[in-house]
Every structure is written in C-alpha cells, then in structure tokens.
Structure 1
Amino acid sequence: MAYRQTDKVAARLAVTRRSILDAAQGLVAEGGFAAVQMTEVAKKAGVATGTLYRYFSSKEALCRQVFREVSTREMGMLAEIASGDEPARERLTKVLRTFAGRAVRGRRLSYALLAEPVDVNLAEERSFFRRTHAEIFVGILEDGIKNGELRKIDARIAAACIAGAIPTALIGPLAPQSHELDNNPDRVVEEIVTFCLAGAGVALPESNRQTRERRTTP
C-alpha cells in the first residue's frame, strides 16, 4: 500500500517549512542574501542542518523562495491599492508612496531585494517582479488616460520608466554604508513620489506640496 501523508504530518511539515523560511527571511533582513548560510538558518529555525535539505535542495533554492514570497507580498499590496475606486491620480500617489515608504522602513531587506548582487536565479526573480511592478503602473495610467485624468502618453513606456526609476533612486539611500536615511527618510520618499508623478504629468495638489515641504525640511 502506498504511503499516505496524514493531515497531522502535513501540518507539522508545513510548520517546519514556515519556520525555515521565516528564519531565512530574518537573516536577509539583517545582512542580505549573503548572510543566509544553511547552518545559521537551521540554528535560527531550531532544526538540524540536514533537515533544511528535505525542504530546499540548496541555499539558492531557499533564497529564491524567500525572494519570491516577500516580493509577492509587496506586489500584492500595491496591486490592491491600484485596483481601488479612487481616482487614478490618488491611486498612483498611494502606490508610489507605499512602495518607497515601505522600502525605507525595511531598509536592509529592501536593499537585498532591489540591489544586492545576486546569482542568476535571484536575478530572474528580480526581473519578473520588476515587470509585475510596471504592470501595476500600466493599469493605473491607462485608467487615468481613459477617464481624462491624465494626459495621453504611452502608458507602457511611462510605467516602465517609473518602475525603473524607483529602485534606481533607492539604491544609494538604502545601501548599508549610506547615512542618507538616518535623519530624514521622508525626504527621499517624497522626492521619488514627486518625480514619478511629474513623469506621468501629475502635479501635487497645493496641500500635498505643503506637506511635502514640511517633511523634507531638515
């Protein structure tokens, strides 16, 4: 008779797998993907090192899953905002501010996801999620153009420019050796938001501009 996994065993395996992934993500958040060593993951997860390989064939496979989970969560959050009922301009602003704001608050993890030198597998994941990020902007821009909120532009080219500009702008401030975020992280966020909105032909309302000025004043 073929072995059939019981619900209890499946639940236990799922818990162990979750513990391993959480441990690996914690290490990435502390020191980037370079900090993910299988012995350290095992220690943090409370399992034997050999146990890790029952769930993930290699460090690369484990890192890829961590990258995929975190990126999927972040993109899901942005997609939810983008699919809301607010005007396109408001959704665009919220998506920009949410992405940049979460990046500066989770600085080390964000740097690992956006800019840390990685192997080809993680580079593939990064490229996939950047395309996903751009598609979120495509939807908002197309809505805005269709409704007359935004000027007529090539939504796909504009979205690609915006999705590329954000991580590029964040690389320097997020870098481990940088001190740019130490005193005024809001300034970085608001500069990114303002630049990307301008690229889409959107000017900040006066009330928002005044708020931005207060946030960016040292």
Structure 2
Amino acid sequence: MVYRKTDRVAARLADTRRGILDAARELVSTGGFAAVQMTEVAKKAGVATGTLYRYFSSKEALCRQVFREVSAREMGMLAEIAAGDEAASERLVKVLRTFAGRAVRGRRLSYALLAEPLDVNLAEERSFFRRTHAEIFAGILEDGIDSGELPKIDVRIAAACIAGAIPTALIGPLAPESHELDNNPDRVVEEIVKFCLAGVGVPLAASTLKNRERRKTA
C-alpha cells in the first residue's frame, strides 16, 4: 500500500509539473518569453502561485526548461532526418526545409527561440541550441564530402555559417510586427534553402534534378 501511494503521489507531481510547463509554453507561443509571468502560468495551469514555486524556483528556471524542451524536440527531429539513408544533398535539403518551414509555421514560438532578447541564462541555451544545430549540418556535410557528392570545404566553418544564417534570415520575417510571411511563407523557406545549398556548392536546381533522377531509377 505504501508503494502504491508513493507511485500515485509521484504521478500526480509529474502531472502537475507537466501542466505548468505546458502552460508556460502556450504563453511563449502567443507572447514570447516576456509573456511568461508566474501568476499567469499558475492561472493557466490551474495551480496556486505558491505551488508553482515548489516546482520552479523562478521565472528564469521555468523559461529555461521550456526553452530546453522545445529546442530538444526540434533538434531531435532534425537529427533523425540527418541520420537517414538518403544522399547527403537530399538530407541537407530536408533538414533546411524542415527547420525553416517549422519556424515559419510556428512563427511566434520560433521568434522567441531564435531572436527575442533574452537574459543571460536563456542566451546560453540559445547558443547551445545553435551549436547543436551546426553539429547536425557538419555531419551531413562530412558524409557528402566522403562520398564525393559535395566539394571539399571546411566542414565546421560551413556548418557554423549555415546554423547562423538561418536564424538571422528569419529574424525579420518572424518578427511580430512583420507581414512578410502573410502571403507567401514558402518563398522565404526556399530562399533560405537556396542560399545555404549554394554556400556549400550545391545549387538548389541541381540538387532537385539529382533527387528526381534518383527516384526515377529506384
């Protein structure tokens, strides 16, 4: 009986913590990290403000966990694509389109993750997020060079350039006051893809043609 009670208590605590994080993420998705006020999170999660502080010592700690969870989910998705069996150029296109495409579809949350002014702790999380992103690109580029599909380049520098270029290119379009994505968000995504591919010596048209030919002969 003691163990069953302990399990129930642990499950309840986990559910409460999950509810708090979900509530905070929803606030970030609509108003950025600036919208995460502890009283608002508590209200949205259905708990007392005092209860909130039992799980997270401060707003900064809560925001940091939200940042980590959302970033880990996105990076996991990109890493899975990067580890696929397709040719390097095809995986590169998929990762670029997935990252940029999900960013424009989840515009407000993406702006918070990529561009919103943050405190030191969250800025550290953003830097880690970008380094992880660069590592994913580096792995794809190394595969492409090893197979002879891509020209020889400095993989680390090229990957860092791509990882920095995408958020920089998205800052303007994702900004809350911008209307650039209202009519044709796909154009922004394709321009980012085209630029990044050209930067590593793979024009988008050539990559697209190669992938079509591969599918025909498969």
Q: Is this a same-fold pair by TM over 0.5?
A: yes
For residues 120-158 of structure 1, the C-alpha deviation after alignment (integer angstroms, 9 at most, x for no partner) is: 000000000100000000000000000000000001000
User: Gapped runs of 5+ residues in structure 1?
Assistant: 210-218
Amino acid paired to 1:115: A
In 1, distance between residues paired with 2:121 and 2:173? 25
Matches within 5 A, 1:98-117: 98-117=98-117
In 2, distance between residues paired with 1:207 and 1:83? 18
Q: Are 2:169 and 1:169 equivalent residues in the alignment? A: yes
Structure 2 SS opposite 1:60: helix
Matches within 5 A, 1:20-35: 20-35=20-35
Shift of 1:5: 7.6
In 2, distance between residues paired with 1:65 and 1:166? 24
In 1, distance between residues paired with 2:49 and 2:55? 11
Map of 1:49 onto structure 2: 49
Shift of 1:203: 1.6
- Aligned CA RMSD, in angstroms, stands at 1.6
Amino acid paired to 2:53: Y
Shift of 1:74: 0.3
Map of 2:141 onto structure 1: 141
Q: Are 2:15 and 1:15 equivalent residues in the alignment? A: yes
Amino acid paired to 2:139: G
Shift of 1:206: 6.0
For residues 84-125 of structure 1, the C-alpha deviation after alignment (integer angstroms, 9 at most, x for no partner) is: 000000000000000000000000000000000010000000
Q: Are 2:177 and 1:203 equivalent residues in the alignment? A: no
TM (normalized to structure 2)? 0.92
Q: Are 2:92 and 1:92 equivalent residues in the alignment? A: yes
Map of 1:37 onto structure 2: 37
In 2, distance between residues paired with 1:5 and 1:189? 51
In 2, distance between residues paired with 1:190 and 1:5? 54
User: Percent of aligned pairs with the same residue?
Assistant: 87
User: Gapped runs of 5+ residues in structure 2?
Assistant: 210-218
Map of 2:215 onto structure 1: none
In 2, distance between residues paired with 1:206 and 1:200? 13
Structure 2 SS opposite 1:181: coil
Matches within 5 A, 1:70-81: 70-81=70-81
Shift of 1:205: 3.4
Amino acid paired to 2:24: A
Q: Is the 8 A contact 2:89 2:207 kept in 1?
A: no
For residues 149-175 of structure 1, the C-alpha deviation after alignment (integer angstroms, 9 at most, x for no partner) is: 000000100000000000000000000
For residues 11-44 of structure 1, the C-alpha deviation after alignment (integer angstroms, 9 at most, x for no partner) is: 0000000000000000000000000000100010
